[in-house]
Amino acid sequence: MATPSDPQSAPPADPTTKENGVQENSSDEEFTMPLITNGRPLEDAYAKAFNNNSLWRRSLAETEPELFESLGKGQSPQILWIGCADSRCPETTILGLQPGEIFCHRNIANILVNTDINSLSVIQYAVQYLKVKHIIICGHTSCGGIAAALGNKKLGLIDTWLMPLRALRQENLSLLDTLNEVEKGIKMVELNVRAGVKVLHSNPIVIDAMSERGLQVHGLIYNVGTGELRELDIEEEEEIVKSRIVSFKTED
C-alpha cells in the first residue's frame, strides 16, 4: 500500500502546469485576468451588489425591525416619483426615505407625454388605486438625454424617444441661443420638467384627484454635483386652470 511519501501515491503531474506552479489555460478559450487596482482584484459589480443585499437587509432589520413584515403585507406610498433612469438619481436615496415610501417611474430624460401607455399606467395606478398625495416629476443636471436633444448627432432608436425634447428645443430656440452651453442644458431640463407638469395637469385622473382630494403636483430639478433639490414655481393663473379642466376633465 502506498504511503504519503511514496511517489506512487501522488497524483499525476498536470501537463499544463509549469515548474513555478502556475497552471496554463489548456483550452482554446481566452483567459481573462481579473482587473487589478492597488495590488487587489476588483470585485465584480454584480457580485458586490448581490452580496451587499445581505448586509443591507440585516442592517435595516436592526434599525427597522418591523419594516419587512409591513412591506410583505402591501404598500401605501404617498409619493409618485417620475424621474430619469440616470444612475446618479436614485429617488429613495435622494429623499432620504425607506422602501415602500415612493412609487416610481423612470425613463431616459424623465420624458412625459400623453401617449405613453407605460407612464400613463403608472400614473393611473398610483393616483387611482394607491391614492398617492403627491406626484413629483424631477429632472437633473448633466442629463445625457438633454445633451443629446441639444445636439444633432444621429443616435438611432433613441432619436424617436427624444422627439419631445427636440420639439421643446425648437419652441424655445431663440431663448436657448442666447445662453452658454451649461445654461442651455439647465434651461432645457427646466423646460422639460414644466412640460411634464403640463401633461400631468391635463390627465383626467390627476384632474379628478386634485379637485376631489387635494392631490399635489411638484416640479423639481436635482443637481447631481451637489445633491440639492430645487423646486420650480409651477403655480398657474386661475383662468388657465379653469380652461384646462373644461378641456380635459372627463365624466363617467
What digits encode the pLDDT tens for the residues 118-139? 999 999 999 999 999 999 999 9
Mean pLDDT of 15-44: 50
Domain 75-247 has CATH 3.40.640.10: no
Q: Is the pLDDT of residue 16 over 90?
A: no
Catalytic residue of the set 84, 89, 105, 201: 84
Could you say which DSSP state residue 94 is in? H
Residue 39 pLDDT grade (very low, low, confident, very high; cuts 50, 70, 90) = low
Whether 201 sits among the annotated catalytic residues: the reply is no
Whether 134 is catalytic is: no
Catalytic residue among 138, 143, 169, 218: 143
Helix (H, G, I), strand (E, B) or coil at 222: strand
Active site includes 89? no
What average pLDDT does this structure show over 202-215?
96
| Catalytic residue (one of 105, 140, 169, 218) | 140
Mark whether 138 is an active-site residue. no
Q: What share of the chain is helix, strand, coil (3-state, %, to 5)?
A: 45, 15, 40
Grade residue 252 by pLDDT with cuts at 50, 70 and 90.
confident
Residue 207 near residue 248 (C-beta atoms within 8 A): yes
Tell me the pLDDT tens digit for each residue of 173-193: 999 999 999 999 999 999 999
Supply the pLDDT for residue 35.
55
**Which of 86, 105, 201, 218 does the annotation list as catalytic?**
86
**pTM strictly above 0.85:** no
Would you list the domain boundaries of the chain?
Answer: 33-74, 75-247
User: CA-to-CA distance for 166 and 176, rounded, in angstroms?
Assistant: 12
pLDDT tens, residue by residue, 146-160? 999 999 999 999 999
Q: Is the pLDDT of residue 18 over 60?
A: no
